[in-house]
Structure 1
Amino acid sequence: MEACGAYWPEAHTDPDKIAKLAWAAYEFAGLEGVRAPFYIYAEAVACGATLTKWKKNNQPVLEKPAISTLEDIDKLEIPDPKRDGHMPAILKAVEILAPKCEKENLPLILTVIAPMTLSLNAGLTDTMYSMIWFKKNPAEMEKLMQKCLEIGVVYAEALVDRGVHTIFYNGALDASISPKDYEGVPLKYNVEGVRRIKELGAYVVYHSCMDIKPVFPLLPKLNAHAISLSQEMDMKEAREIAGEDVIIAGNVSPTFTLIKRGPKEVIAEAKYCIDNGTDILCPGCGYGPKTPLENMKAMVEAGKTYGHNARLARK
């Protein structure tokens, strides 16, 4: 933010500043991709959720979800990305970034929330209530997931139409339910979301937060181009579970190593990820606003220095 002069909270909602901050990761840190936005609430705000605590050094937090009761599910309408919430600003930022990314041959990556996670969290609902609904009112929650699927696909289509190359399909809450529960309705809608976004012509990187070891064996069924793992999942163990046919992205710790340690520790952890099976070196989640620029550069350096050790490079 300091290097480019585009700061939160304005860089969440101002298209020029969204684009400027997203581009800065490539321009100043050397990251080989450009990603936006910098929060997970675009869909929820477009559906009527409100946020608070808009500050420079932290993401905004949910003030009021879009859905507070089961009755609200039937009232929920699919938002128009060209009109609702912050989506128009994000689309405008994409229009600014797309030609620059094409010129530099960089992937333009935008976040879309997967159906299960949007239905249980991400500002659309209050997790405390939605988890109860998930167990006690499964028919209503399936209805909500179906709407969440459509919300994501409509949004993804608008993004891809404007030049987005890759959809970062965020399934943050996969580990919050049992494998048995996940393999039912949630997996079905997440699979359908991946399929439809791929049909739009985009690459799909599916992301899971937390230690997802219990449900990780199910994720290849999504048929995403890659699976992005949080730092709680050990890369060596993840590769052993996934086998050789799954592309894995991750997973240098953004909350500890990248923020609280120095370049040497960042390089060491990045090397561990490369040596033990990652195919796409990246953080286990988004960069925190207090991440030193030197540490971002160090991760890039590690990729260039040790990339020849990656499993696909060895083949």
Structure 2
Amino acid sequence: MKDYILSLLEGEETEENPCTSLAGCQGTTPVGVQEEAGIEWPAAHKDSQKMADLAIKSSDIIGIENVRVPFDACVEPEALGAEISWGSKQNDPYISGYPFSDNPEDVKVPEDLLELGRIPTVIEAIKEVQSNLDKDKPVSTTVIGPLTLVGELIGTEDLLRKTITEKDLIKELVERVTEIPQKLISRYYEAGADVVQVIEPSSSADMIPPNIFTEILQPHLSKISSEVDRPLILHICGNIEPILPAIMELDFDGVSLGSGININKAKKEASEGTKLLGNISPDTLSKGSPSKVKKEVSNAINQGIDFIEPDDGFVPVATLENVETMVKATKEKR
């Protein structure tokens, strides 16, 4: 399945739908999976061996067709000085203190970036997964896109406000930090990642106007994607329909769709060879019935989705029964 998945992201036609969790801000390890694996958050966020072991076990338990690390979206801001609250097995880590909230103009890329925070932990976890994985599955990982990363350094509310009141400053900061995902993408591939996703949750039409996306962020996402010749996916949470044309101008191999996005419309906008991933609702996976999960899987495939995935990854409270049903229902449609 690994070769087939990678061939799809290289532009081959979709003949059958993989069931993966390559995209999204959440990970692949809901509470039920952590408990069955015997490895839980927050310990698995901080230790490369536990991270790798939980990633492999979660893929085996659920049956999804990739293995993914890490399980949170705080790696880069922590490395640059953000304070992190680590949560619990039910709750994701989150930023509790922004390092440049009082002095945004001082944001810069450290020369020793790859040695800071948990970046070495993630690099080592990728290596350990590749060394210990005995299944034919791709290893995937995550980097934070430049606009969202600026928000995680100066404060998301400040970011959104300053895109209007201090646009030139935000332009400069986004340009400045674009080097961070570029460096991480290169290092993660070198460590053994097969697929990397760029997450940009702060750039949806729910967060910023479409013209801000095209003016401030699009050129830098283009720079990131055009310089990568390995499988690269873009994930933006929420409503992306107003910016779909701009997204499809970028050179990403896959684009993640939320559960509220019209697959048929996205399919019409998609560039030739660009694959669409999604879009099973987190509400359905956490609170719905298995029959509803099956229906959503069937609907997504019938509408032309390429990869069946949970919208934004598996939320911690997604039930093991529903997650397993999603995988089984996908495989039954082949």
Same fold at TM > 0.5: yes
> Which of 284, 288, 294 is matched with 1:267 structurally?
294
Letter in 1 for 2:299: Y
Matched with 1:92 is 124
Matched with 2:101 is 68
* Percentage identity across paired residues of the two chains: 26
> Which of 320, 324, 334 is matched with 1:293 structurally?
320
Letter in 2 for 1:38: F
Which whole-Å CA distance do the structure 1 matches of 2:38 and 2:131 have between them?
A: 21
Q: Is residue 111 of structure 1 aligned with residue 142 of structure 2? A: yes
Letter in 2 for 1:99: S
Q: Is residue 57 of structure 1 aligned with residue 90 of structure 2? A: yes
Letter in 2 for 1:73: E
**Unpaired segments ≥5 residues, structure 2:** 1-33
Matched with 1:310 is none
CA contact (8 A) 2:163 2:212 kept: no
**Unpaired segments ≥5 residues, structure 1:** 308-315
**What CA deviation, in whole Å up to 9, does each residue of 1:255-290 have, x standing for no partner?**
x01111132211111111111011011011121122
Which whole-Å CA distance do the structure 2 matches of 1:243 and 1:189 have between them?
A: 19
Residue correspondence of structure 1 range 203-222 to structure 2 within 5 A: 203-222=231-250
Which whole-Å CA distance do the structure 2 matches of 1:234 and 1:105 have between them?
A: 32
Q: What is the CA distance between 1:245 and its match in structure 2?
A: 4.8
CA contact (8 A) 1:82 1:91 kept: no
Letter in 2 for 1:190: L
Matched with 1:195 is 226
Matched with 2:213 is 182
Name the count of aligned residue pairs. Answer: 299
Which whole-Å CA distance do the structure 1 matches of 2:110 and 2:226 have between them?
A: 19
Q: Is residue 154 of structure 1 aligned with residue 183 of structure 2? A: yes
Instruction: Name the Cα RMSD after superposition.
Output: 1.8
Letter in 2 for 1:134: T
Matched with 1:237 is 265
Which whole-Å CA distance do the structure 1 matches of 2:111 and 2:39 have between them?
A: 28
Which whole-Å CA distance do the structure 2 matches of 1:234 and 1:204 have between them?
A: 22
**What CA deviation, in whole Å up to 9, does each residue of 1:36-84 have, x standing for no partner?**
1111111100110011252221012211112213x44335233635421
Letter in 2 for 1:87: I
Q: What is the CA distance between 1:105 and its match in structure 2?
A: 2.5
Q: What is the CA distance between 1:15 and its match in structure 2?
A: 1.0
**What CA deviation, in whole Å up to 9, does each residue of 1:63-117 have, x standing for no partner?**
1112213x4433523363542111111111111101334x422111101011122
Matched with 1:313 is none
Q: Is residue 163 of structure 1 aligned with residue 192 of structure 2? A: yes
Which whole-Å CA distance do the structure 1 matches of 2:188 and 2:167 have between them?
A: 31
In the superposition, relative to structure 1, how do residues 236 and 17 fare at CA in structure 2: closer, same or farther (>3 Å)?
Answer: same
Which whole-Å CA distance do the structure 2 matches of 1:91 and 1:242 have between them?
A: 32
Letter in 2 for 1:160: Y
Matched with 1:249 is 277
**What CA deviation, in whole Å up to 9, does each residue of 1:283-302 have, x standing for no partner?**
11121122222222111112
Which whole-Å CA distance do the structure 2 matches of 1:110 and 1:97 have between them?
A: 11
In the superposition, relative to structure 1, how do residues 185 and 82 fare at CA in structure 2: closer, same or farther (>3 Å)?
Answer: closer
SS in 2 for 1:154: helix
Q: What is the CA distance between 1:224 and its match in structure 2?
A: 0.3
In the superposition, relative to structure 1, how do residues 32 and 149 fare at CA in structure 2: closer, same or farther (>3 Å)?
Answer: same
> Which of 132, 135, 140 is matched with 2:161 structurally?
132
Which whole-Å CA distance do the structure 2 matches of 1:164 and 1:266 have between them?
A: 30
In the superposition, relative to structure 1, how do residues 75 and 245 fare at CA in structure 2: closer, same or farther (>3 Å)?
Answer: closer
More relative contact order in 1 or in 2 (CA 8 Å, sep 6+)?
Answer: 2
Matched with 1:311 is none
> Which of 28, 40, 48 is matched with 1:15 structurally?
48
SS in 2 for 1:104: coil
Matched with 1:173 is 202
